[in-house]
Amino acid sequence: MNAPAAAHEQIKIRLTQIADFSFNIHFDDTEAPDLITDEPAPLGKGEGPNPSRMLLAAVANCLSASLLFALRKFKNQPTRIDAEVRGTLGRNEEGRLRVHHVEVDLNLGDDAGAYEHLDRILQQFERFCVVTESVREGIDVSVAVRDASGTVVHRSGGVA
């Protein structure tokens, strides 16, 4: 017998083109300020992070938060966690630019001996990182394109 499907939480973000490759991103259901993204020159003006940088930031942020949560779960009081993330861009077989590799360095603010159960924490914290594990496993992406009247003019992937 199959287990019942887990409930799914939906996240909604709205993007509005400002000019050329610059977009305003609004994070619904949060108090977060809007964010401006842009492509670097020659496509854009580099007035904000581009989607590849946002992806890298999301991976590093999620890993940092997962590590912090795991440390605190075992009653540790970390003073600080810093992260540096690097992405390698390259072309696929079709010649299209893709993120080929993501490398994240997480830095604790205390010596390892200051933490209780650090071995156990380090063995499991990555598995609780929603973004990193999603990227690692692949993400089903559905796309729908609608014209000004709301008519769907393109659809790909699963249900959009």
- Is position 4 within any domain? no
Q: Which amino acid belongs to residue 119?
A: D
- Is position 2 within any domain? no
DSSP 93: T
Number of domains present in the structure of the chain: 2
Rounded to an integer, what distance in angstroms lies between the CA atom of residue 76 and that of residue 120?
A: 13
Based on the fold, state whether residues 74 and 22 are members of the same structural domain: no
Based on the fold, state whether residues 132 and 83 are members of the same structural domain: yes
H or E segment at 36? strand 35-37
pLDDT of the residue at 145: 86
pLDDT tens for the chain, 160 residues long, are 455 556 788 999 999 999 999 999 999 999 999 999 999 999 999 999 999 999 999 999 999 999 999 999 999 999 999 999 999 999 999 999 999 899 999 999 999 999 999 999 999 999 999 999 999 988 777 788 888 888 888 888 865 4
CA 99 to chain centre: 13
C-beta of residue 37 within 8 angstroms of C-beta of residue 27: no
Residue 85, CA distances (Å) to 48, 140, 152 in order? 17, 24, 38
User: What are the structure tokens assigned to 142, written together?
Assistant: 């559905």
pLDDT of the residue at 2: 53
Q: Which amino acid belongs to residue 160?
A: A
- Cβ atoms within 10 Å, residue 132: 20
Based on the fold, state whether residues 57 and 41 are members of the same structural domain: no
pTM metric for this prediction: 0.86
pLDDT of the residue at 156: 83
Tokens 């659809």 sit at which residue? 155
Based on the fold, state whether residues 55 and 69 are members of the same structural domain: yes
C-beta of residue 59 within 8 angstroms of C-beta of residue 132: yes
Based on the fold, state whether residues 110 and 77 are members of the same structural domain: yes
C-beta of residue 36 within 8 angstroms of C-beta of residue 45: no
